[in-house]
Amino acid sequence: MILLSNTDNHADLEQAAVAAMLEHQVEGIIYAAMYHRLVEPPKALYEARSVLLNCFCADRSLPSVVSDEVVGGRMATEVLLRKGHRRIAFINHIASDPGVVGRLEGYKQALAAYNIPFDEALVCVEIGQADGGYRCAMRLFQQPDRPTALFCYNDRMAMGAYDALRKLKLSIPEDVAVVGFDNQEIIAAHLHPSLTTLELPHYAMGKWAVEYLLAHIGEAYPLPPVQQMIGCPLVERESA
């Protein structure tokens, strides 16, 4: 039997949901977040075999599984570097969550591996939606020495960047190559040209969490506080 509760990030609902699960004597609990972030999990999770999915707690006292943002950012940038681009801009989200920090670090690591100096003028920060991507792309292409490629924090920002490039009468990927992140199918596969992007490993993270719980059924809790990092696969399409 599987019990599922969507609490919409309300602490009171979370506590009530975990309490209800404990009353049903569940053998394990997966506490999942909508995006990769730091959480303060309900204390009742320590009363069961629990795994955090797509999130982690500050003291790492509970096992967790998250996407590897740094490697993902590096892979996205390397796609463009391998195509010969050397002036690559990064359109980032205005936040401080692990995706924002990790993808920027991966971008820097990829540039360093190719002996390309990091240039702050090529990093634009905006709200992580299509209009933010549009504004960043317009600003980046006002520079005298324009970028030849864009790495976008997510596919929504990439969609906005597409609109800006069309307005500037620049072709993708002939004039500017674009790589996104997340692989939101409703966006990435249906842009023209279709978007090369990195896929968030939701299925793989869920699979790992369930298998970890099953492997520790019957053991004392809390379970060993490991943090599993799962890579973000590259989905190559037509934009890079």
Residue 70's pLDDT is what?
98
| Alpha carbons 161 and 126: distance in angstroms, whole number | 12
Mean of per-residue pLDDT scores for the chain = 95
Domains and CATH numbers, the chain: 11-68+201-231 (3.40.50.2300), 69-198 (3.40.50.2300)
d(CA 96, CA 216): 33
Backbone angles phi, psi at 205, to 5 degrees: -65, -45
pLDDT value, residue 131: 98
pLDDT at 221 exceeding the cut of 90: no
What is the pLDDT averaged over residues 153-169? 98
State how far Cα 83 lies from the chain centre: 23
CA angle 162, 179, 166 (to 5 degrees): 15
Residue with more model confidence, 225 or 200: 200
Q: What is the pLDDT of residue 155?
A: 98
Question: What integer is the mean pLDDT of 4-8?
Answer: 88
**What pLDDT band is residue 9 in, cutting at 50, 70 and 90?**
confident
Contact (Cβ atoms closer than 8 angstroms) between residue 208 and residue 65: yes
C-beta separation of 128 from 160 below 8 A: no
Section 153-175 average pLDDT: 98
Has residue 14 got a pLDDT over 90? no
Instruction: For the chain, list the strands marked E by DSSP.
Output: 29-39, 50-57, 64-67, 88-93, 123-126, 149-152, 177-179, 197-198, 227-230, 234-235
Mean pLDDT within 59-85: 97
> Stretch 223-235: mean pLDDT, rounded?
95
pLDDT of 194-217, one tens digit each? 999 999 999 999 999 999 999 999
Residue 102: predicted pLDDT: 98
DSSP type of residue 43: G
Q: Give per-residue pLDDT as tens, 89-142.
A: 999 999 999 999 999 999 999 999 999 999 999 999 999 999 999 999 999 999
When pLDDT is cut at 50, 70 and 90, the band that residue 173 belongs to is very high
pLDDT at 2 over 90: no
**Position 11 pLDDT exceeds 90:** no
Q: 39 phi and psi, to 5 degrees? A: -130, 160
Q: 234 pLDDT exceeds 90?
A: yes
